[in-house]
Structure 1
Amino acid sequence: MTAPSPTSDEPSGPKPQRDILSLAEPVPPPAPSRFERLASRVAPASRKVVSEGRRFAGLVAARTRLIAGTSARLARAAASRTAAALGPLREPIIRSAKRAGTGARRTLSRIRLWHALIVAGSVAALLVLIVGYSIATLPLDGGLQVDPTPSALIVEADGGETFATRGVFKGTKVTAADVPTHLAQAIVAIEDRRFYSHLGVDPLGILRAAWRNWQAGGTREGGSTVTQQLARLMFLSPDQNLRRKIQEAVIALWLESQLSKEEILLRYLNTAYFGSGAYGVDAAARRYFAKPTKELSLAEAAMLAGLVRAPSQLAPTRNLGGAKERADTVLQAMVDTGAITADQAEAARAEPVNLRVPPETPPGTNYFVDTAAADVRRLLGGASGDLTLRTTLDLELQRLAEGVIERRLDAEGRQKNVSQAALVALSPDGAIRALVGGRDYEASQFNRATQARRQAGSLFKLFVYLAAIQKGYDPQSMVVDRPTQIGDWEPQNANGRFRGPVSLRNAFAQSINTVAAQLADEVGIPAVIETAKRLGVQSELPAVPSLALGSAEVTLLEMTRAYAAVATGNLALEPYTVRSIQGSTQQALFTRPGAAPRAEGLGASRAAMLDLLQAVVRDGTGKAARLPNVLAGGKTGTTQEYRDAWFVGFTPDLIVGVWVGNDDNAPMNKVVGGDLPAQIWHDFLTRAAPLLAKDKQQAPTAQVARADPEGAAPPAPEGAVLRGAPEVMDTGTLVIRGTMVRLEGIQGERGTLARQLARFLRRREVICAPSDTPGLQRCRIGNYNLSAIILAAGGGRATPDASEELQAAEDQARSARLGVWRRGR
């Protein structure tokens, strides 16, 4: 393109050509305007926003990726359309800038500003979409999930001592009237000081928490309000991510619009987790302090309020020091907020906080607790709520049984290749006084006393001989030990020899196999099975000749039950673990009747069978179980290849069964029933004798009544006035001069409370006269009503028809946490 020809007005001669850009070069740029300075700041900030947006997009959960991708595509499309729209203007703007000089820089700055605004708008749109997605995906089934398995089971021994807890403490839902003012103040002071002024989300609290966490270099304080925490507990998962925090804030705002502050706080207290399996403040109060929520002191309330931030780490059952330090922090927060004075805080710190939590369950008793828990399910079905269970377990006998087994297996187990043992001890009425289901509960929860089915060996001969006695045999009857064949089966004796003619007593005492096989063949296997079923064996029994020598698989508990039926003459005897069950509101859900049912059916055959069983211990295979000056009977049992060894025997006080063997059914080193099992039985009964004698001395009448209900003292004659030093059956039943007296207005308790009452009444004269209720007596010591004394000391519970005087005495004991009320049951 050639330069235009000069006109007549221009001087002649060549001149340098300059374009519009060359003309702009010497012009100095003006100072940047306010708008340009703003644009220069916005552009880097926009680039930072874009960078942070990309970083955030990489961390968004899988469920937000689709939305994020779509939003990004929309943003790119918007940017592309904007660029396309600006494209036709680019060249004119540049040409204009070339002409205008300084205006070029201004126009370019405007372009950068528009680009930054477009990117920022895209990021804002993305955030709006994320918030919308979080709201659209609010869960309907989230929130704190409490294990649907059993509620808390508080297990007491027969004497009233709490020795185990199971399950999750759920307590009851508290109302506004149940919440002490200082408890509500403690929660608000430590968790959400602006609770009564914010609308569900506290921006100032969030900023304060962020600042303190930044100063501490980590998370030390949360910014969630009580309402947000309730939203998480009720609806959301505990996951820490942006979506959950957005959902938490949205739900919190909604809760604030639907509920009052008091309702929100109450729901929070009923939902929060306080550690040690306690959900809700009432469960925590009962779990840690054995009292309802309304009775919490300031110090106790401060400790509970301090737990909700870290319940697992601060639970006083595992970290009492940490719980107390946290409680001090709560008290200081209450002072800072004006809820209490500094003097009140100091008084609360000085107040001793006595935990009244059940001790850790002794490992060995867990086998018994498992059995008792199964009995509770059978007795109550689907009953819910926290339960207090009074059991039959004697803790001293239980510890003794565990110790005897441990010592014997430690001393001889390796040498004799024995790794496991089980023991069951029954009282004459069927109460399980001790139960060892294995050597180590933590290693194996399988209960070898109630669940393991093993061949009984010669232990099963009880049913064969009893069936034969009922067919006409007696202990002096002569039988022949000789080679025997029944069909294809040829039983052999353990020593491989035959004795020829022997008495029935001697054959049983020496456990001669051929005689048992002949007797079973004579009376018939069906008769043997029927006898076993009548005595309580519930396992399947095959109708084969070898059943006579114990080829059927049975449990230790059912065999011990069968021997107990013979020892007591009660065919209705049934082992049991539960005496009573109470709910969290102190209502009685189950109480076992005082006298167990009896079913006589052995007649004269029982005496003959006892003769044979005593011969085993006196002269036979069970001589290792002999006890000095104690009449005992029992039977040994050994299976093929020494895979199982048994001894079940009885004294007047206990029926005890012992099994030893290996879980993998491996043979032992020639261990027979008269060896290790009989020795364990002997060790246990020898050491148990002083404990049983002590119990008899402390409550003799109660022991006799439980062992022989038919021999209980007769009731007081109608209209008679009795006086004398009483014997105590339970805290509601006395015996005065051989006459049974039932106190008016009292539901009696046994065990420790009965023994304490017996000590109190020793050598004291009690005077009893008929009350207004037939069959009950009004007794007094001096001028004082004995029933009122017992109830005021917590020795029992008042009956529904008790007088106002007696109910007032019960209220006094309950408020002072005495006796039966000491655990807040």
Structure 2
Amino acid sequence: MSDSPKRKRPLVADKRNSGKASRVAKKAPAKKAPARRKAARRSAPRRGGPIGWLSALVRWVLRLIWVITWRVTAVALLLLALAVGYFYTTLPPLEALLDGRARGSVTMLDRNGEVFAWRGDQFGGVVTADSVSPHLKNAVIATEDKRFYQHFGVSPRGVASAVRINLSEGRGPLSGHGGSTITQQVAKLLCLGEPYDATSGQTEREYEAECRRSSLKRKAKEAVYSMAMEAKYSKNDILSIYLNRAYMGGGAFGAEAAAQRFFGKPASALKPAEGAMLAGLLTAPTTLSPTNNLDRSQNRAATVIRLMQDQGYLSQAEADKAINNPAELSEAAEAKAGGYFADWVMSSGPEFFTRNTTEDVIIKTTLDQRIQRAAEEGLNWVFDNKVRAGSKAQAAVVIMSADGAVRGMVGGRKTNVAGAFNRASQAMRQTGSAFKPFIYAAALDLGYSPNDLIEDAPYCLDIPGSGQWCPKNYTNSFKGNVTLTTALKDSLNIPAVKVSESVGRDIVSQVATSFGIKSDLAAGPALALGASESTLIEMTGAYAGILNGGSSVKPYGLVDLTLQGETEPLMGTSGGIGERVIQEDAALQLVYMMEKVVSEGTGGRAKFGGRELAGKTGTTQANRDAWFIGFSADYVAGVWMGYDDNTPLTGVSGGGLPTEIWHEVMVRVHEGMPNRPLPMIVPAPAVVEAPPARQQTAPSRRQDPVSLIDQVLRDIFGGGSSQGGSARPGNR
């Protein structure tokens, strides 16, 4: 056993800790590695020379651009937000934006209560994007803004595409295609919130033009306004505003008015073809209006249908069906009746309820659409079959009842018009021999008889300051002693002048004026030959006074006027039968004389169907105007023919083409009507005795015949019946 000390263990770590210690030892330098790398980078020398300087400059510029860009962007976004917020606060409630018309509308009903014409700005009532037919809603979106429900009011993709197309077509970037969304179009319709101010000196037309202007500044404002609308209203609200305010042609503003105007149905009931037609009108409402060109409108609708199919709104079968069965106009829209008549009613009614109405007005009228069509067809038939091709001659027709209720009116050869010159009511023309019935009306009222005699012979008058005036007959021949009836039926000028001078021009003028001839009448003896001017509607109304037994007539077309939604009329008719002008028996004798004009005289071409008809032809100096005005027991009709520039008619007299037009019109008017006799008195045979000399005061009703009117004239004028001097051409 050894007593030496034990051997000491070496100073080393245990094995169980040796691995851990070594790992710790290895990790420690690793923690310092990043610091060394960073220090190495800091101590790394920069690239010197021009390349180093240039790279530093580029880095500095890029940092500057970034700083400026994000700050400018932030400021721009802030300003945009402020602008959008400002417009947001100015936007009114939705309900205030749905009807944006400056004027009201006028809807006209015929005598049977059927709509035949519209005037003013038609608005059928408020609709919403949910209440209209889904076919109309889808058609509008497919055509106008297929990403409507995705964008925020402005479509950058649409704007970029529009600019590219405009530049490629050689236009300015803002000219032509606009790339506008439906929201932007609504902003334009609202004129960016700028209402029209009548006191600004700017006209409505100028205001609307300013609203549509496409300057860069205005487009920017439009974009901001559109974003404010997107923030204020829902997408369907914006679409509802568009569907109510957009002009769709034919005087119709909004989908409801257009649906009623063109198809006679509400906007909620539109079929795909009809919805596509209305959506197609939005690009060019006047040019594409179906009342102007139905074929063009149907072609545009077919394009819209194809867009609807491409975007999944219609199946292939639905699209094919819609294209193969295009939308058709309603009867009211297709009728094209009463254009001149509607204009006349508008001009004759109160201005604040017609031309300048701010209300929606319903006017019931006297128009009979069957008679209106008869007038148009009769006039067209004569011009198609009796007038040389290319003739610029014009004509007008008026048909009325004996009380002055106008049943049809044509103011020119182009019948489907609105706002055109109306030759029936606006053209002042010399009346020629169509004036002669008023001469004989005055004579009969003073006691003369249709069978009294007068000499048709050379005759002259001395006109103070003008010399001798010698009228002649149309035929330049003389018939000797003739009855007043013969003088009228053959349209003899000399007897007409003699009767006028015997009765007194003042009395003749008074009778004509009382019957409704409102223009200034000629002061000289040529009054008897129709030297005065009048309109066709005045002359026809005056003849209606003869038919109704001698009472004056004021032609009228307005029966009553009511505000839309009301039941009580605001006003009624202002026309009709007025005061008596001549005694009834005188009027009935005059009807007898005028019946002979048709049955035996110059108006023979007017006869039809064995009916009793009466009337009078008229041709003015140098054949510049030709007339025939006449009546049956049921209707009075007047026809005028001539040139607008007063060019003489070639080979046309009142007994020719005007009478043939009258015949064709009245044949159609009387189809299916019973044959009624005229109200007339056949006079007793003449009793020849010399009348006393004419008194210089206004004559009272005389009971003596005028078989010797020439003696009366000799007593008055001292033998002024010698021949000589220049003669005014006769009228017939």
What TM-score results when the alignment is normalised by the length of structure 1?
A: 0.58
State the Cα distance separating 1:692 from its structure 2 match.
3.1
Give the match's secondary structure for 1:515: helix
| Distance in 1 (alpha carbons) for counterparts of 2:149 and 2:564 | 33
Could you tell me whether the CA contact under 8 Å between 2:431 and 2:627 is conserved in 1? yes
Q: How does 1:185-584 map to 2 (within 5 A)?
A: 200-201=152-153, 206-207=156-157, 226-236=182-192, 237-239=211-213, 242-259=216-233, 263-274=237-248, 277-292=251-266, 295-296=268-269, 303=276, 306-307=279-280, 310=283, 312=285, 318-320=296-298, 322-323=300-301, 326=304, 357-358=330-331, 365-376=338-349, 380-381=353-354, 382-385=356-359, 389-414=363-388, 419-441=393-415, 445-482=420-457, 483-487=459-463, 488-494=467-473, 495-569=475-549, 571-579=551-559, 584=564
Tell which has more relative contact order, 1 or 2 (C-alpha 8 A, sep 6+).
2
Cα distance in 1 between the residues matched to 2:133 and 2:638: 53
Root mean square deviation of aligned Cα? 5.4
One-letter amino acid of the structure 1 residue matched with residue 124 of structure 2: G
CA contact (8 A) 1:272 1:279 kept: yes
Change (3 A) 1:363 1:465: same
| SS state at 1:616 partner | helix
Q: Deviations over 1:404-423 (max 9, x none)?
A: 33443455544998822222
Alpha-carbon displacement from aligned partner over 1:211-231 (angstroms, at most 9, x marks no partner): 89999x999998755544432
**Aligned partners of 2:396 and 2:411 also within 8 Å:** yes
Contact 1:570 1:600 in 2 (8 A): yes
Shift of 1:554: 0.9
CA separation of 1:274 and 1:672: change in aligned 2, threshold 3 A: closer
CA distance in 1 between counterparts of 2:323 and 2:495 reads 78
Structure 1 residue 457 displacement after superposition:
1.3
> The residue matched to 2:539 in structure 1 has which SS?
helix
Which whole-Å deviations, capped at 9, do the CAs of 1:552-578 have from their partners, x for residues lacking one?
A: 111111111111101112524222334
Deviations 1:295-325 (A, max 9, x none): 4478599658955874649877653465466
Equivalent in the alignment of 1:171: 124
Deviating more after overlay: 239-248 vs 351-360: 351-360
- 1:417–1:668 contact (8 Å) kept in structure 2: no
Deviation at 1:532, TM superposition (A): 0.9
The structure with more helix, counted as a fraction of residues: 1
Kindly tell me: are residues 590 and 576 of structure 1, through their superposed partners in 2, closer, same or farther at Cα, counting changes over 3 Å? farther
Distance 1:163 1:105 in 2: 86
CA deviation vs aligned residue, 1:587-612 (integer Å, no higher than 9, x gap): 56568579955544422321232232
Query: 1:388 offset after TM fit, Å?
Result: 5.3
> 1:103 is matched by which residue type in structure 2?
G
- CA distance 1:302–1:145, change in 2 (3 Å): closer
Q: Distance in 2 between matches of 1:147 and 1:266?
A: 13
Identity of aligned residues (%): 32
Give the structure 2 partner of residue 95 of structure 1.
none
Distance 1:122 1:667 in 2: 80
Q: Which residue number in structure 2 is paired with residue 53 of structure 1?
A: none
Equivalent positions of 1:783-798 (< 5 A) are: none
| CA apart distance, 1:652 | 0.6
**Letter in structure 1 aligned against 2:297:** N
Are the equivalent residues in 1 in contact too, given 2:106–2:362 (CA < 8 A)?
yes
Query: Compared with structure 1, are the counterparts of its residues 398 and 227 closer, same or farther at alpha carbon in structure 2 (3 Å cutoff)?
Result: closer
- Structure 2 equivalent of residue 674 of structure 1: 655
CA distance in 2, matches of 1:485, 1:539: 25
State how far apart, in whole Å, the 1-side matches of 2:416 and 2:328 are: 27
Unaligned runs of 5+ in 2: 1-44, 91-96, 193-210, 680-732
Give 1:551 deviation, angstroms: 0.7
Stretch of structure 1 that moved more, 395-404 or 354-363: 354-363
Letter in 1 for 2:641: V
Matched residue, 2:711 = none
Residue 329 to residue 473, structure 1, CA distance change in 2 (3 Å)? same
- The answer to whether the Cα contact below 8 Å between 2:277 and 2:327 also exists between their aligned partners in 1 is no
CA distance in 2 between partners of 1:126 and 1:231 (Å) = 26
1:742-761 CA-partner distances (Å, limit 9, x unpaired)? xxxxxxxxxxxxxxxxxxxx
Would you say the 8 A contact 1:571–1:598 is kept in 2? yes
Structure 1 residues 384 and 332: CA distance shift in structure 2, 3 A: farther
Secondary structure in 1 aligned to 2:673?
Answer: helix
- 2:618 is aligned with 1:637: yes
The residue type paired with residue 369 of structure 1 is A
**How far, CA to CA, are the matches of 2:103 and 2:327 in structure 1?**
27
- CA distance in 2 between counterparts of 1:438 and 1:396 reads 18
**Partner SS for 1:170:** coil
> Structure 1 residues 126 and 376, CA, compared in 2 at 3 Å: closer, same or farther?
farther
Report Cα offsets for 1:212-266 as digits up to 9, x if no partner.
Answer: 9999x99999875554443233125445564344222211233345556665454
For the 8 Å contact 2:351–2:357, the answer to whether it is kept is: no
1-structure distance, mates of 2:668, 2:278 = 49
Q: Which residue of 2 aligns with 1:105?
A: 51
Output the CA distance in 2 between the equivalents of 1:423 and 1:305: 36
SS in 2 for 1:438: coil
In structure 2, how many angstroms separate the alpha carbons of the residues matched to 1:109 and 1:364?
A: 83
Tell me how many residue pairs correspond in the alignment.
Answer: 588
Q: 1:214 to 1:445 in 2, by over 3 A?
A: closer
- How far residue 502 of structure 1 moved from its aligned partner, in angstroms, is 2.9
- Whether the 8 Å contact between 2:440 and 2:499 is mirrored in structure 1 is yes
Partner SS, residue 690 of structure 1: coil
Which amino acid in structure 1 is aligned with residue 125 of structure 2? T
Aligned mates of 1:417, 1:196 — CA distance in 2: 58
Specify the SS of the correspondent of 2:629.
Answer: strand
Change (3 A) 1:351 1:196: same
Is the contact between residue 639 and residue 658 of structure 2 (CA under 8 Å) also seen in structure 1?
yes
SS of the equivalent of 2:434 reads helix
For residues 523 and 173 of structure 1, the distance between their equivalents in structure 2, rounded to whole angstroms, comes to 66
1:613 aligns with 2:569: no
Q: TM-score, normalised by structure 2?
A: 0.65
Tell me how far apart the structure 2 counterparts of residues 415 and 231 of structure 1 sit (CA, whole Å): 51
Distance of 2:153 and 2:614 partners within structure 1: 76
User: Is the CA contact 1:186–1:334 (under 8 Å) kept in the aligned structure 2?
Assistant: no
Paired with 2:271 and 2:662, the residues of 1 have a C-alpha distance of 53
- Pick closer, same or farther for the CA change 1:289–1:624 going to 2, 3 Å: closer
Give the AA of the match of 1:492: P
Task: Write the deviation string for residues 612-661 of structure 1: whole angstroms up to 9, x where unpaired.
Answer: 22232233333333445322222222222222222211111121212222
> Take 2:302 and 2:511, find their aligned partners in 1: how far apart are those partners?
63
Letter in 2 for 1:690: E
CA contact (8 A) 1:638 1:646 kept: yes
* Compared CA separation, residues 150 and 620, structure 1 to 2 (3 A): farther
